[in-house]
Structure 1
């Protein structure tokens, strides 16, 4: 593990080498154990880290990012059929530039959709233009899904759980994607890209190319997550905090704008099935020293509470706390 010390980014989030991904890590148990320990340590300290040599081919990453950029570059009339604020839509394009956030204005276009598995219903909802969007998306998502399962196995091992603990219902809900497109902003001082929030999911993997803009809260400050060539930024969502009994907390993050350069982030969100029972892992609970901080609940129940909390971390967690001192 190395630390990113670029002073321009004012951040020192861990950068973890996965040594080529699942296959190579599986061939070396000592190396795998070391990487698992680094991931858990980074999660406990920062809640955010970056992974390199992760096994997702750069060709797949760049090909899909190019296809996504080409979609945003389409004429307005060709994108219009996808415009919607209806969150039940399988694929929707929207903007937050008209969102009234009180004193803060927002500067972002985005698409949100279900990206994995590539079911017939999902594929039918994806745009037909550019023609390369759908095939590049399938290739990208399959690779990222394998990376996500590798990371979840390593997290489990680093916590002393069975390596397959997060497989099955904990991570087999439809994987969602958010592609955030931030055009150059005339006055970044009065706008945000995204407000402060925590993810509702289990795990998020994000590419941000070479344009900085993601900030994570650490020690009461907002720190810029400096881009690392070829890296995925990884952060844990609320479900990971519940399941690990608070050991791996979800961390607030936000996006800032700039006046000169387009920034596009591609975030892939791995989540449980709606009917998955969420509770602290029994192995991480000890009634004498580490009592359960959260009660049992269905993931679908949390989704309702999250929407009602309006991006407040504490309001989203409160209904599920056991209130142990």
Structure 2
């Protein structure tokens, strides 16, 4: 509990156990914002230009594995209210946050610093995190914190809207891939987890990381950034920064969507860097299959000349392996490749 960064004040210098080895450090923090990461206006799909919107999403998912969406239908007021609640959560008194901290691996709703394996990891991340499942809402909402007092109501409404947005985007993606209507409206999207990251100002940002390089293991992630930048995507051997666009969501393709598309879509590697002056709070909604769901390349995307690149597996087995290998993209995906005769 005492380890929570949001409980520490005026950290003068970076503690040694937060300093990453030279090859993993962000180093030069002047990574330019990319003008190439697509920003897609979802209102165009409703106003008769659906085909063009779908093509933009597929192109972005193939090239970057990342894009931003605007005019997505979620009200600015609700986004602002949720963003305020997320910040308030980490500004609460230490004794309130104490109630949410736990070392119990079976506890689904909890706050921690760095990672759940804090006690055994070699280097810590410069972040506090609060996460919990939020779909189906009625199954989980009663387990959420009672403080801030409007947390359950506000985040409940927000998570329902985000789930709808994810369904709309997945519908466009499935159409773009040539899959049948409603392809993802089942166990493939049976779960959604909210992960709120809180990055206080860091004394030496060039030596620390908020989140290390990784690709998301789930199906698709809907991320709300705040106005402070920190998200970076790895593309063509270089890091590029994702600009925080007011009232936009960042959408990134997870490993499961890469596998279902038979390698057509990219699950991009990304990380979070810190800064020395501003607190940054972001909220990621991880839309994922149910644990027992069978994942495999869609049959419509495989043929004699396009055999399945990946084998069939249960989602829970993928997740176990992913965390055992600390999210190493190359190692994880290689292990789930189809065996060649």
Scaled by the length of structure 1, the TM-score of the pair is 0.90
Q: State the match for 2:206 in structure 1.
A: 189
* 2:131 aligned to which of 84, 88, 112: 112
Question: Cα gap change, 1:311/1:241 in structure 2, threshold over 3 Å: closer, same or farther?
Answer: same
CA–CA separation in structure 2 for the residues paired with 1:222 and 1:142: 33
CA–CA separation in structure 2 for the residues paired with 1:143 and 1:313: 30
CA deviation digits over 1:188-215, x for unaligned, max 9?
Answer: 1111000111111100000112111001
CA–CA separation in structure 1 for the residues paired with 2:194 and 2:244: 20
CA–CA separation in structure 2 for the residues paired with 1:58 and 1:27: 20
* 1:128 aligned to which of 146, 153, 177: 146
Residues 154 and 163 in structure 1, CA contact (< 8 A), matched pair in contact too: no
Gaps of 5+ in 2: 1-30
Q: Secondary structure at the match of 2:178?
A: coil
Q: State the match for 1:250 in structure 2.
A: 267
Q: Does 1:171 align with 2:189?
A: yes
Residues 63 and 266 in structure 2, CA contact (< 8 A), matched pair in contact too: no
* 2:335 aligned to which of 301, 319, 322: 319
Gaps of 5+ in 1: 1-6
Pairwise CA distance, 1:99? 6.8
CA–CA separation in structure 2 for the residues paired with 1:49 and 1:76: 37
Pairwise CA distance, 1:123? 1.9
Q: Does 1:308 align with 2:324?
A: yes
CA deviation digits over 1:214-249, x for unaligned, max 9?
Answer: 011100111111111111000011100110000012
**Once structures 1 and 2 are overlaid, which stretch shifts more, 256-265 or 108-117?**
108-117
* 1:201 aligned to which of 212, 215, 218: 218
**Once structures 1 and 2 are overlaid, which stretch shifts more, 79-88 or 136-145?**
79-88
CA–CA separation in structure 1 for the residues paired with 2:265 and 2:119: 32
CA deviation digits over 1:35-93, x for unaligned, max 9?
Answer: 11110000000001000000011111110111111111000011101112434212110
Q: State the match for 1:50 in structure 2.
A: 68
CA–CA separation in structure 1 for the residues paired with 2:103 and 2:51: 44
Q: Secondary structure at the match of 2:43?
A: coil
Pairwise CA distance, 1:12? 2.0
Residues 105 and 190 in structure 1, CA contact (< 8 A), matched pair in contact too: no
Larger RCO: 1 or 2 (CA < 8 Å, sep 6+): 2
Q: Does 1:19 align with 2:36?
A: no
